[in-house]
A and B are shown apart, each in its own frame.
Chain A
Amino acid sequence: MKRILFGAALALLARPAWAEVGTSSTATTSATSFFTTSETPVAFEEPSPWRYGFLLLSTARYQFDNGDRTQLTAINPITGVEELDTRYDPTGEDFYDLVTTIGGEVGYGPMQLAMRFDTALFFHEPIAHPDAVPRISENLEQRYNNVYNLDYISGSYADRNVDLTLGDFYVTLGRGLLLAIRKVGDVGVDNKLRGANGKVRLGDLTLNAFGGFVNLKNFEQGQGFNYDNGNDLIVGGRAEYGFGKYLKLGGHGVLMRNQEDRPRQAEIRGVGATVELPRPVEWAKLYAEVAFMERDLSEPGDPVATDDTFAAYMSANVFAGPVTVLFEGKHYDNLPLIVPDLVAQSTSPTINARQTINLYIAQPTAERPQLILLTNQTVTGGRVRVDYRINADVVPFIAAGRYHDETAVRLGSLGSGATDATAVYGGGTFRWEGGTATGNAGYRGQFGGLDRVDIHLLADVEQHLWDDYAAELYVNALKATQDNEDWLEGRVAASIKAGRTWGATLAYEFYTRTPGLFRQHYVSVAGNWQFSERGLLRALVGGERAGLKCTGGVCRFFPGFEGARIELDLRY
């Protein structure tokens, strides 16, 4: 208890603190509210073209024994043998961190200047055991280092026909098969291009050209990584022409080039085309995209990997009265994830978060977004989802997918063959007087290469109680079987909220895989208090489970946590 109080006191004294965290799909608390406590808008004295904004987000954590016994296994460069060190705890005990983001923006008419500055300070951070294998020391050298980083700066002009940005910007071509530099809040990814981006609209024709160096979200709070941007230059462009609601045609190209001085320059070239029938008839819409990619990859040690890709993706909707049908199909022939430095992707989030979560492309999965997708590189398949709107309050759905994956065959992975996967799940949205329930449950099994079976349940029920009070129950559970190993993982949380003023949550999390390596059960109590229209305080005491968290094909490893955390959000 002393530790908890001390941690809270430290956070309060430190005052400024936050880390920008992903917005959970179940998060219903307010982060900013300018007139939620009033029934009339804030009065502004005089109209002015000037706009100002200020943001301070701060998180202070005190972490005692988190129970996380994640171990690193790595090839010892000296012995050439894969080694395991059981004395190594990558998140440590009794350490503190203070992570703060300060952001500001000023606008004048259609112009806007924005910047954001990240700092992270660590105290009593984990260190390697004197006898630990060298790889562990190397790993820790890039973690828990104090961070002072200008994360984002941009100036933009945006009017009806012209949109220009100098500095940092996001860019996605089509559905991202060739390029998707974006923010994925749930897993803490916020990648930008730092350069110039211009878009011009000439009637039905839209032209876009951009170029810049990749600017990663350098700091990863979960494991304390602080990695550099690298030196990847990306230029590209897209042209799009629309024929009203009936047809939209687009074409794009991209060039990625690693500018490091290497014997062989890593370079990726790609072109793609999109065809969209936004609403050719009232009851249907269609989208299709193809992409071609050539790669010259320089991997560590400079073996050169040269390869080509063809990828196709399509989605179609049918709206037939109360029935809505979604079909998604994909055919990827050797579409790898493109990562910083344009090297082959590392598959270990605990060893190389930089190249595991920072992806330059998006691979539409045609599967549930939260799925931990083991492979998606050489695959053909699709899914269909049917929703039936019985009335505004009852909307059930069912979905089924089938996928044939030859990634392991294509890569020549030892002992791996083609994998066939089948997924079936269903659920819906249900409303009643003062309450709402949403959720789904289902099965996914894949066999042939890497065998795995998942059974999942996701449910969120909210009920209004009285006045401003409401209660919420959230359940997210997974039973997985992989390589003859069974485990359960998930979260059950019960919350009570009083409007936007305050809320409290009691949560239980579990992860039963590899007992002894990971702690299995975690309990936490959290609260949030909106102390003013512009300020929010959040606090958590207890534990949060370790594990992979995935969103749309991007997976990040979150280490276990046990301790106290306090967060302050101020926005003006």
Chain B
Amino acid sequence: MIGNASHMRRLMMALLLTAACAQSQKASEPAKTTDSKSSPATKSTAAKLPDFTLETIDGSQFTLSDHVGRDVIVMSFWATWCGPCKVELPHLDALYNEEKENGLVIVALAMDEPTTVAEVAPTAQRLGLTMPVALDTNQRAVALYNRSRSAPMTVVIDKQGRIVHQAAGYNPGDEVKLAQAVRTLLAQ
């Protein structure tokens, strides 16, 4: 085990060094552009929240920092076993399609465990979702933004990268209030 521990220490050192290199490289790169028509992020705002990168069901990746400090972001934590989530998601998708050109990003973060994650893509398909649907199988986004692992849980981040809204649960009519709030944020 001494050998293993030593190996682990070396590995962690290598990870830390790699992290430092990656950070310095990132600082020298321009902000990544996306399809959004909003203004590009500045370094100061884009670094305000812990980041995560998750695989989406269509094989691409969703990285939070691509949007923080530039777009209004709605993170909707859900799971295939959550009934209210599946009622709410089509409303969120409709809002996404209405406002995505104005700088709204909505991501549906599936908290499904390994045993049910195979259901995520077909569930999204039959709900007709067009917004990004990301898989948080490792519960990383959960650990950062939904520690109680509530479903559904909605987190809204404004254009300045501030978390301005968190709400667990869904009741009919919530989508109307959320849409009004999001449009207010988009207008700011």
Contacts and interface: CB of A to CB of B under 8 A. Distances in A.
B87 A462 contact: yes
A160 B53 contact: yes
A31 B23 contact: no
A103 B53 contact: no
A541 B26 CA distance: 57
Nearest to B169: A30
Interface string A165-190: 00001111011100010111100000
B50 A175 contact: no
A47 to B, nearest CB: 5
A32 B168 contact: yes
Contacts of A157: 19, 50
B162 A436 contact: no
B22 A162 contact: yes
A257 B90 CA distance: 46
Contacts of A478: none
B139 A183 contact: yes
A551 B15 CA distance: 36
Nearest to A152: B147
B113 A180 contact: yes
A470 B172 contact: yes
B84 interface: yes
A564 to B, nearest CB: 23
Contacts of B166: 32-34, 571
B67 to A, nearest CB: 12
A164 B19 contact: yes
B4 interface: yes
A48 B147 CA distance: 22
B168 A31 contact: yes
A41 B165 contact: yes
A46 to B, nearest CB: 10
A464 B174 CA distance: 12
Contact of B122 (A44, A248, A279, A387): A387
A252 interface: no
A354 to B, nearest CB: 20
B113 A184 contact: yes
B100 interface: no
A84 interface: no
B147 A103 contact: yes
Contact of B167 (A30, A57, A196): A30
Interface string B4-31: 1000100110011011001101100000
B113 A160 contact: no
A201 interface: yes
B167 A33 contact: yes
A279 B51 contact: no
A524 interface: no
A156 interface: yes
Interface in B56-72: 57-60, 63, 65
B26 A182 contact: no
Contacts of A246: 59
B173 A468 contact: yes
Nearest to B137: A172
B114 A49 contact: no
Interface in A38-76: 39-42, 44, 47, 49, 51, 55, 57
A23 interface: yes
Interface in B102-158: 113-119, 121-122, 125-126, 128, 137-140, 142-144, 147-151, 156, 158
B172 A464 contact: yes
Contact of B118 (A174, A328, A571): A328
Contacts, number: 267
Contacts of B167: 30, 32-34, 36, 500
B172 A109 contact: no
Identify which of B58, B63, B180, B181 gathers the most chain A CB atoms within 10 Å of its CB.
B181
A363 interface: yes
Contacts of B26: 159-161
B114 A25 contact: no
Interface string A8-43: 000000000000100101111111111110011110
A255 B4 contact: yes
Contact of A460 (B83, B119, B163, B164): B83
Identify which of A41, A171, A175 gathers the most chain B CB atoms within 10 Å of its CB.
A41
Contact of A279 (B58, B162, B180): B58
Contact of A385 (B23, B122, B163, B172): B122
A198 B140 CA distance: 12
A298 to B, nearest CB: 16
Interface stretch (A110-118, A133-141, A217-225): A110-118
B174 A36 contact: yes
A200 B177 contact: no
Contact of B15 (A160, A200, A365): A200
A434 interface: yes
A512 interface: no
Nearest to B168: A31
A44 B81 contact: no
A429 interface: yes
Nearest to A436: B87
Given A200-B15, A392-B128, A182 B139 contact: yes
22 contacts: A28-B171, A34-B165, A36-B177, A44-B162, A110-B51, A112-B144, A156-B144, A159-B47, A160-B65, A162-B18, A170-B138, A200-B18, A235-B8, A237-B11, A317-B118, A317-B122, A324-B122, A324-B125, A362-B113, A364-B118, A389-B128, A552-B116
Given A387-B126, A552-B115, 8 more contacts: A33-B166, A34-B166, A158-B52, A172-B113, A362-B114, A365-B115, A462-B87, A464-B173
Interface of A: 20, 23, 25-36, 39-42, 44, 47, 49, 51, 55, 57, 103, 105, 107, 109-112, 114, 116, 154, 156-164, 169-172, 174-176, 180, 182-185, 196, 198, 200-202, 209, 211, 235, 237, 244-246, 248, 255, 257, 259, 278-279, 285, 287, 315, 317, 319, 324-326, 328, 362-365, 369, 385, 387, 389, 392, 395, 397, 429, 434, 436, 438, 460, 462, 464, 468, 470, 497, 499-500, 551-553, 571
